[in-house]
Structure 1
């Protein structure tokens, strides 16, 4: 078959490779001038490997997905750590026993930390929103110090207006584990994400066309037996039912030539001050050695490229209208965060892409 794949990020690239391996001819197009989607990384003019679209930290509990990507990259072992700044001081985040002890000048044991959370939490009979999740877990003071204003900046909405799943992604710990993730596999592509994508797409049956709008391809005279679409589902249907709400980001990159390090860990959150939500220093993530350093500040915005589907019930209702159209398509497969309007992690996108490729191969 001749197959058109729209988007050369994780979803599109993995499907492309799987179908190419099965003998199909692939044209992968992307509106950007590079492959790898939002995971695109590149050395800046100072020689430091940066993530152009903000930090991408790989982690998964899936041996299958880790082994799959291991065919295309070596790994640098890295466990991500985050600090949250409250009243000018840094604290471990997600909240753990050290956070409590440092913030409140306590000396709690693990059992006492569990008792503390039980004492301050505001039990919710029904946990429906992100606010419910956090209040039910850690109570109001920690909610207001670490979550409330960060969420408002990140999503442009009060936590009480967001579905519970947003906050449920962030654990609360009674031990002193200060890793952001606890997944079995935590590592970064040794030579960067872009090199990994180059390896995934390096197949004689795959042709890549960049700086190309998918609408131009669809209006061309090219004939395809099947289309794999990884962009915003509402754009595919020309916003027939209206625009699905997405949250965007603006990135402010900065190089600091006079210092080797800027901060103590990979990412520092600023929940209550400044317009940006967090600062990431890339050398922590990549293990690169350099005499200077590069950082990025993230500013959530309402306008710009779509990054995060906004998880609200009314948005899900609108998405289901588009999904009904997508489900009726026989020659188009929709896969990925934007096409499925899901807040996927990278490993989840890879898993969805592998499943999508399997279904296409079985069908054909």
Structure 2
């Protein structure tokens, strides 16, 4: 019998598996319904020899020394600073909106006037949200806020979430930044890089331990079930711990209803050209049905005669048919999640970790940090 059974081989489950196996000598079983480890971060070499991200682009960045040090045990790093362009009014411009974007979209005299106003009001190098700009009494700053809102945020979000703008949580637009600088990098964290040999290799190294067993192509319900407030593993009462990183509503057979997600259809294309677009990622807020295109070889400055891209088409998540990516935050959905969370607390040997289990959006570095914290809080003194 195992000391801990972990459902899900993404970052949440893998970090905890490593810590439990190495720090506490626990016997750990990881199960995952997919044929690979790494969850949505899984990457692979395609038929053209190009390293692609099978579930869409994952760009590592963090401001946490703790996260960086932990992951650096399992990979060397390729220095990479992510850049994104947006196709706006026939121009390819830096995203998020910054002073370079301003000068590419407006006449010189107008751009210089607005830049001067932004710098004097907020300071060079600062970031301000659209919401803040829209509240200002200055008509020029309100103009640029409304322009960014409509041209960069409005239609992109409608495609991303499949909802009218009035149906979206106002907090979504409140977070859209305007950078008062000429730094075109998408992220500004002190640690930015890509795993030198890819994410799959990072996970392989993290889980390479004699105390860790991995079962892929395995539905958790086939070997783990609930009876009352107990877990039954392969027809025996489980005395050990369960760490669950999957969909919390699925764990409990949807007893309080389903929790909705947005999904993505990724369409991969290979083109016989050295470069398909200027930036690694190009956003299309107002044109086409897809939201963005990512060109993978640019992440590693790879030399190939062709290039592979992925177009992202947001879609509704349908259980059993596609992959859940993003929780949909509404008051109704949050109340439903709280019912599940309360019910889960009746299971003394159950720990919920991750985007699906906690119905919360995590970046990669956030979920690594969350898993490290859960280990210290829940297991370190066990």
Residue 3 of structure 2 is aligned to residue 2 of structure 1: yes
Out of 210, 218, 222, the residue aligned to residue 212 of structure 1 is 218
Query: In the alignment, what sits opposite 1:17?
Result: 18
User: How far has the Cα of 1:137 moved from its partner?
Assistant: 10
Partner residue in 2 for 1:262: 276
**Which of 254, 267, 273 is equivalent to 1:239?**
254
Unaligned runs of 5+ in 1: 126-134
In structure 1, what is the equivalent of residue 188 of structure 2?
A: 182
Q: Which has the larger radius of gyration?
A: 2
- Residues 146-161 of structure 1 mapped to structure 2, 5 A cutoff: 146-161=152-167
Summarize deviations over 1:100-135 as a string: whole Å, max 9, x none: 1111123427533346999x943189xxxxxxxxx9
* Alpha-carbon distance, 1:323 to partner: 1.0
Q: 1:171 aligns with which of 172, 177, 184?
A: 177
SS in 2 for 1:338: helix
Equivalences for residues 318-357 of structure 1 within 5 A: 318-357=336-375
Per the alignment, residue 358 of structure 1 pairs with: 376
User: How far apart, in 1, do the equivalents of 2:53 and 2:174 lie?
Assistant: 26
1:172-194 CA distance string (max 9 Å, x none): 11111111111110111000000
Q: Give the secondary structure class of the aligned counterpart of 2:37.
A: coil
Q: What whole-Å deviation, never above 9, does each CA across 1:254-280 have from its counterpart, x for those lacking one? A: 111x20110111100000111100000
Q: Report the equivalent of 2:325.
A: 307
Rounded to whole Å, the distance in 2 between the matches of 1:52 and 1:62 is 26
Match of 1:271 in 2: 285
C-alpha separation in 2, matches of 1:36 and 1:166: 28
Offset at 1:164?
A: 4.1
Could you say what secondary structure the match of 1:260 adopts? coil
The number of residues matched between the two structures is 353
Equivalent of residue 96 in structure 1, options 98, 119, 124: 98
Structure 1 residue 326: Cα displacement: 2.0
Conserved? CA contact 1:111–1:174, under 8 Å: no
- Among 108, 113, 128, the alignment partner of 2:112 is 108
CA deviations over 1:138-192 (Å, ceiling 9, x no partner): 5222211111010000011233323344345442111111111111101110000
1:122 aligns with 2:128: no
Once residues 346 and 331 of structure 2 are traced to their aligned partners in structure 1, the CA distance between those partners, rounded to angstroms, is 23
Q: CA deviation at 1:136?
A: 7.7
Give the distance between the partners of 1:11 and 1:137, measured in 2 at CA. Answer: 43
CA–CA distance in structure 1, aligned partners of residues 142 and 349 of structure 2: 46
- The superposition leaves residues 17-60 of structure 1 with CA deviations (integer Å, 9 ceiling, x where unpaired) of 00011100011000100000000000000100000000000000
Gaps of 5+ in 2: 122-127, 226-233
Give the equivalent residue in structure 2 for 1:130: none
SS in 2 for 1:175: coil
For the structure 1 residues 286 and 327, does the alpha-carbon distance in structure 2 shift closer, same or farther, using more than 3 Å as the test?
farther
CA distance in 2, matches of 1:291, 1:243: 46
136 and 316 in structure 1: CA distance in 2 versus 1, 3 angstrom threshold: farther
Distance 1:338 1:75 in 2: 28
**For the Cα contact (< 8 Å) 1:137–1:172, is it kept in 2?**
no
- Contact kept, 8 Å, 1:76 with 1:287, in 2: the verdict is no
The question of whether the paired residues in 2 share the 8 Å contact of 1:97 and 1:113 is answered with no
Which of 20, 35, 38 lines up with 2:37 in the alignment?
A: 35
Shift, 1:332, TM fit: 0.6
Deviation per CA, 1:228-261, whole angstroms, max 9, x where unpaired?
Answer: 00001111111111101111111000111x2011
Q: How many Å separate the matches in 1 of 2:269 and 2:375?
A: 39
Counterpart position of 1:230: 245
Q: What SS does structure 2 have at the residue aligned with 1:85?
A: strand
Q: Distance in 1 between matches of 2:292 and 2:7?
A: 31
Q: 1 CA distance for matches of 2:142 and 2:372? A: 37
TM-aligned CA distance change 1:170 to 1:194, over 3 Å: farther
